[in-house]
A and B are shown apart, each in its own frame.
Chain A
Amino acid sequence: MSTDDREMERLLREALATEADMVHPEGDGLMRIQQRIGARNRQRRWLRPVLVLGSVVVVAVVAVGGVTIARHGDKAKVSPTNPGTGSDAFPAQGIFPFTTAAEEADWEQQYADGHSPWPSDPEAVATSWVPNYLKAKDVDQLVSKEQTATVADVTLGRDQSEGGLQPVVVVHLVKFHQAWIVTGASDPTDQLRISTPGAGDTVSSPLTVSGPGFGVDEVAKVELRDAETPSLIATAPTDGFGSGTSEWSTTLSFSQPQSAAGVVVAMTMSAADGGIAKLAAEKVDFGAAPPPSAGAAFYGVQGGVIEAFNESGRPEGPVALAGDEGTVMEVHKVGGRLYFTARTGDCITSLYSVAATGGTPAAVATADRDYGIVGFDVSTDGKQVTYFESSGCNQSEAGMGRLVFANLAEGTTRHIDFPSEPPVIVGDPVWEPDGVHVDAFVRTGMQGYLARYDATHGDNETPSHYACGEFDPATQLTGALTTDADGTLWFAGQTGSSMQVLSCKDGQPNVELTIPVNGSPTSLAVDLSGDILLTGSDGKVWLGSAGKTPAELPAGARVSSVTW
């Protein structure tokens, strides 16, 4: 360090001390803090005994844990159901990584080709499911494993700062062909159990969940999750359960999801650090999927909320969200679910998903600290997301970006750094249907190109320069990109006097639609029959298809993002 730097340090220290000495807090700080704490406690008086006694629970469990286990020993193991079905019938209570024999068969094919070996390892399946799908934070450490040729119990725990590794859950798995399938999970001490509904029951809203628990003025939390994606459908605390072993209960309300299978999860929290102490889970079925809501032909973002539009393009009313995610910025519909980004402060920090019929959104991905999500896409199977995050939303930092590929099933992410902007990805990066390649429009100052990335490489992947043959978009592309179900890449651009939609069939660009308005496309969606939706920077929505005259839809207020 130079003398100049030392001198600077001295100056700074002195300036800060002087400046700080001039700050004289009012004398009533403590009173104001106490008033606010008091007000909160009056509002929540019923919680107070639980909070105070909470610390006793840990002591009680540690002190009498052995006794309790012995007492419940005779019915301790909630063993995996139907372990004897062997490799012929898919386990009825199979939750993860597959819920049907067909899904498993698809994987067998990939496995034979040398891809995705993890479902063949019970430990890998358990450590993927609990933190990534049940979102049980930090419960990813192996405590023990018991395994036969057809059945495995994997006990996972959590590093608790002072108590070391604490067992939290026993994941039960059965072997089906070459895959290990989760069939349920129980509390390692078997104190917390779910007795209603039964594993494999068909459930509907309102759903009462109850079971025995052990503790002193303990409260459990119950969640209903989608079995096929890492999405929360509903959650509620239980009523308090008293001294010793007693019954807890709660009721969940939810809109019926599109997927067929769900997971009911019950958990208690550690009084020591607020993390998960015990967890039990079982599969439930949702029965036949509800008919798609009658009026919704497509969805869009209008005035910061997700709006359903009918076939004539008129708004039908917003999709009801039970959370407070903030101002919705962009929406995509994939397999009956809406994926959306929302903003609460300067930056769009999270990507959520919710049933297309509405409900409680679940966080799917979160931007790195100080980054905001600019554009995103979800793979057609809902298991991978890609997004471009930029620090440009935070004005005090220099602009840096990252293209992220997140595999939700495996809980892994890869990213490609954009150390200074430009170059920068404009609009959405989009998945090709192979779930391997991602196309994006990269702007390099005044110029740009259509890049094609391999998401399985990540880190230092150099993109193929052109995602569409030799097509060089130069400056006209806007970043309104999408892929249709056949894998064709579509993109929209501005030509000076009009907006154009191009498809990349057979690796070559074809102009499919020309909209005679001088504007910049902001969002593009193409459905199976080739119907094209486009929004421009003026917030108008256009509907067209190849060779037909496009029509402006009566969408009302500005629409900033559309999805079929």
Chain B
Amino acid sequence: MSALGADEAIVALYTAQYRSLVRLAALLLHDTAAAEDVVQDAFVATHKSWRRLRDPENALAYLRQSVVNRSRSRLRHLKVEDRKAPRPMPDAPSAEYGALNAVERSDVMTALRGLPRRQREVLVLRYYSDLTEAQIADALEISNGAVKSHASRGIAALRDSLESQR
């Protein structure tokens, strides 16, 4: 049993994970303010469930799952309620970010957003969060095999989509 109380655990998790979780949610939602809301909700829920989680490793998995689920319902809500476009993330100059130019990056992100939800989630968790197949399966509550097939179909679909744009 962990020696950490819920309050201390939340501070420790916040320090280590808040920024990367907000970025994960922002990639799924394409909206920074909504991403912060979602992640804060997930932290509050984790605090509430601390008695069941007890362990920082469990808590991180729970947090991640909670962020993905809440991002998904936020997207659905937007889609159903008013179909208003989420506030886009700021466009920053790209020169300092290496080889990929802004046009290419924006093409990849546009193609990514066009993928079915599951494929998009698997790709973001794998290529941004660097999770293993098992961790992704856990976060999305699907099988390892499904992770694998969503990932390979997602990559193929991205490639097709980019090729058709050129």
Contact = CB atoms under 8 A, between A and B. Distances in A.
Dominant secondary structure of chain B at its interface with chain A? helix
A20 B128 CA distance: 8
A16 B141 contact: no
A25 interface: yes
A25 B89 contact: no
B10 A21 contact: no
B36 interface: yes
B73 interface: yes
A12 B128 CA distance: 9
A350 to B, nearest CB: 16
A23 B26 contact: yes
B125 to A, nearest CB: 10
Given A11-B104, A23-B26, A346 B76 contact: yes
Given A36-B40, A345-B73, A20 B26 contact: yes
Interface in B113-133: 116-118, 123-124, 127-128
A16 B43 contact: no
A33 B124 contact: no
A106 interface: no
B106 to A, nearest CB: 8
Given A12-B155, A15-B109, A33 B44 contact: yes
A33 B43 contact: yes
A15 B104 contact: yes
B27 A396 contact: no
A369 B142 CA distance: 10
B27 A19 contact: yes
A13 interface: yes
Interface string A362-395: 0000000100000000000000000000000011
Q: Which of B23, B76, B77, B112 has the most CB of A within 10 A?
A: B23
Nearest to B75: A396
Nearest to B37: A32
Contacts of B36: 25-26, 29
Interface in B1-40: 1, 7, 10-11, 14, 18-19, 22-24, 26-27, 32, 35-36, 39-40
B40 A15 contact: no
A23 B105 contact: no
Interface string A17-38: 1111111111001101110110
A37 B9 CA distance: 13
A29 B100 contact: no
Nearest to B90: A22
Nearest to B115: A396
Nearest to A6: B155
Nearest to A17: B128
B89 A18 contact: no
B2 to A, nearest CB: 10
Contact of B32 (A9, A23, A54, A397): A23
A201 interface: no
Interface string A258-288: 0000000000000111100000000000000
A34 B46 CA distance: 12
B100 to A, nearest CB: 5
A397 B117 contact: yes
A240 to B, nearest CB: 16
Given A30-B18, A40-B44, A8 B105 contact: no
Contacts of B100: 11, 14-15, 18
B94 A18 contact: yes
Contacts of A24: 32
A397 B43 CA distance: 29
Contacts of B61: none
A499 to B, nearest CB: 31
A36 B44 contact: yes
B89 A19 contact: yes
B85 interface: no
A250 to B, nearest CB: 22
B53 to A, nearest CB: 9
Contacts of B79: 346, 395
Contacts of B73: 345
B89 A11 contact: no
B48 A40 contact: yes
B97 to A, nearest CB: 5
Given A4-B159, A11-B104, A395-B79, A20 B23 contact: yes
Contacts of A33: 10, 14, 40, 43-44, 47
Given A12-B155, A15-B100, A271 B51 contact: yes
Given A14-B99, A25-B19, A396 B116 contact: yes
Contacts of A369: 141
B161 to A, nearest CB: 10
A187 B49 CA distance: 26
A506 interface: no
A55 interface: yes
A29 B22 CA distance: 10
A19 B18 contact: no
Given A12-B158, A32-B40, A23 B127 contact: no
B158 A16 contact: no
A376 B53 CA distance: 37
Given A15-B105, A36-B44, A274 B159 contact: no
Interface of A: 1, 4-5, 8-9, 11-26, 29-30, 32-34, 36-37, 40, 51, 54-55, 271-274, 345-346, 369, 394-398
Interface of B: 1, 7, 10-11, 14, 18-19, 22-24, 26-27, 32, 35-36, 39-40, 43-44, 47-49, 51-52, 54, 73, 76-77, 79-80, 89-92, 94, 97-100, 104-105, 108-109, 112, 116-118, 123-124, 127-128, 141, 152, 155-156, 158-159, 162
Given A5-B156, A397-B118, 15 more contacts: A1-B152, A12-B108, A13-B127, A14-B99, A18-B94, A19-B26, A22-B90, A23-B22, A23-B35, A25-B22, A25-B32, A30-B18, A272-B54, A346-B76, A397-B117
25 contacts: A4-B159, A5-B155, A5-B159, A8-B159, A8-B162, A13-B128, A18-B100, A19-B109, A20-B23, A23-B22, A23-B23, A23-B32, A29-B14, A29-B22, A29-B40, A30-B14, A32-B40, A37-B44, A55-B1, A274-B51, A346-B79, A346-B80, A395-B79, A396-B116, A397-B117
